[in-house]
Structure 1
């Protein structure tokens, strides 16, 4: 008997590695993606104390992308996408993130034996809430993706971040996750010398940021300027493709693909931080979006594929 390997048709819009671990089309539900929440381990289920308020981040949801004038936009293929959103509040770029100014979604996974290369792919769209006149492009500060990883030696967070706008000025440039050399724990934790977090952990909200869009937590991707599709009003969303490939064994970036460009990231690596107890073999993929002003902004994920070699 001749064996036949067949893939779902939806995978044809992706470029997976040899073994597909998860293929998440949000027409079928949340598929294990959930809000990234703080640790509710204190008395009366209060969260663990943190410099940044993580309790008021807006929740992710299944959405048909309704717009004020376009009714329901739907997803790229089907009806529902996973919508990440923010509250309508933001601090200046150089300040610690305001409570509620970010939205995140995480899928909690673990490593499989002999994993060498890991890869995330997604079709996504981004837009501000259609609640006022104007294009609104400058209201979206940043969005992107990262892995939260831990092997038997280190914890590390490789990822990419699109800096769209800084204090109302468009930047449109990609960064990769790596801590700037010489950053101390006090620098990382907003001046608190006894801050518990190590540089390289939770880059999304730690580390100093600067008016040009640079930051302690991120470095610019070489030749990373890219003018992504943003249509003429917030109700006109276009679906974009991204793919990040990472060498899990060597702890190094390999490649990043965005829309019509492929960035060779070989030779670049995330920051390696001391491992945490009880989370060896952690592999958590995480998407995020940030607002730059007093306006809710959204990141829509039509579908996501996680694959390994």
Structure 2
């Protein structure tokens, strides 16, 4: 049974149009409305030491995300789901190129967390054709590490991607990644290592993960979608995932796991990415993000 405090909290959320579209856990950790700016989301820069040339090629391709009104050549601006601006993650115009945006936090207590956001995706509209298979994938995930009081600790990286197309053929399936690429030393001081965890190898189909998302009739139109991902920082396990009206079974889901790294204690990073399947840019737009916890 809800307490009076729970009822008041819920009533306040429902009275705020920006929050009422979400179903947050009791404590809102961060709420990002990109009409107010970048809200801490930034470029995922790869590790380097002494020279930027030490950065792994996967990271070297990344650029800064931008605030966008989702412009279109016919009608000027599409705007966001709410207000004018969304966060736009754009790849380079090269088949297989990726781009990533990240928000870097730490957690103060291990417990359930919930990540909700509204998004849409499309390729650059530089042809008068639908182009529905030009975006290869988009996705999101956490980069987590236990606290320094947890013995040797662990770094855990839950990943999801929606594989929209491969080599021009529609796939439309959610996938996860249980393993990363080999960890590589960076520099010669023994302080920095790196691995490109979004490499195309190693993605696994989520059982029952087929889903047809709304993709409108011309390449400049967009429709906004909803995602909710539940995770438990105590057990470091995924506990729920839904997109729009679909709730997916996570019984086979496994995040990337590896030993803790020397200076990442209590890390709570969120990232989102886009990937193109053709020699044109792919765009991921994110209207708003709500991260909440039950602590």
Give the TM-score normalised by the residue count of structure 1: 0.83
Number of the residue aligned with 2:27: 19
Long gaps (5+) in structure 2: 148-152, 187-193
Partner SS, residue 170 of structure 2: strand
Partner SS, residue 143 of structure 2: strand
1:137 matched to 2:136? The reply is no
Long gaps (5+) in structure 1: 92-100, 180-184, 210-214
CA 1:112–1:267: 2 relative to 1, 3 Å: farther
> Hey, what's the Cα distance between the residues in 1 that align with 2:275 and 2:55?
22
1:48 Cα deviation (Å)? 3.1
Q: Is the 8 A contact 2:31 2:289 kept in 1?
A: yes
Q: How does 1:143-182 map to 2 (within 5 A)?
A: 143-152=138-147, 153-179=153-179
1:301 Cα deviation (Å)? 0.5
Number of the residue aligned with 2:189: none
Q: How does 1:4-153 map to 2 (within 5 A)?
A: 5=9, 6-7=12-13, 8-43=16-51, 46-50=52-56, 52-91=57-96, 101-113=97-109, 115-152=110-147, 153=153
CA 1:293–1:304: 2 relative to 1, 3 Å: same
1:239 matched to 2:224? The reply is yes
Number of the residue aligned with 1:212: none
Listed one character per residue, the Cα deviations across residues 146-195 of structure 1 (whole Å, up to 9, x for unaligned) are: 0000114111111211000111111000012312xxxxx9xx35xxxx84
Q: Is the 8 A contact 2:59 2:196 kept in 1?
A: no
> Hey, what's the Cα distance between the residues in 2 that align with 1:172 and 1:124?
16
Number of the residue aligned with 1:272: 257
> Hey, what's the Cα distance between the residues in 2 that align with 1:201 and 1:154?
16
CA 1:201–1:307: 2 relative to 1, 3 Å: farther
Q: Is the 8 A contact 1:201 1:273 kept in 2?
A: no
How many residues align structurally?
Answer: 273
1:40 Cα deviation (Å)? 4.5
Partner SS, residue 20 of structure 2: helix
Q: Is the 8 A contact 1:254 1:264 kept in 2?
A: no
Give the TM-score normalised by the residue count of structure 2: 0.86
Q: Is the 8 A contact 1:35 1:106 kept in 2?
A: yes
CA 1:53–1:173: 2 relative to 1, 3 Å: closer
1:112 Cα deviation (Å)? 1.3
> Hey, what's the Cα distance between the residues in 2 that align with 1:202 and 1:253?
22
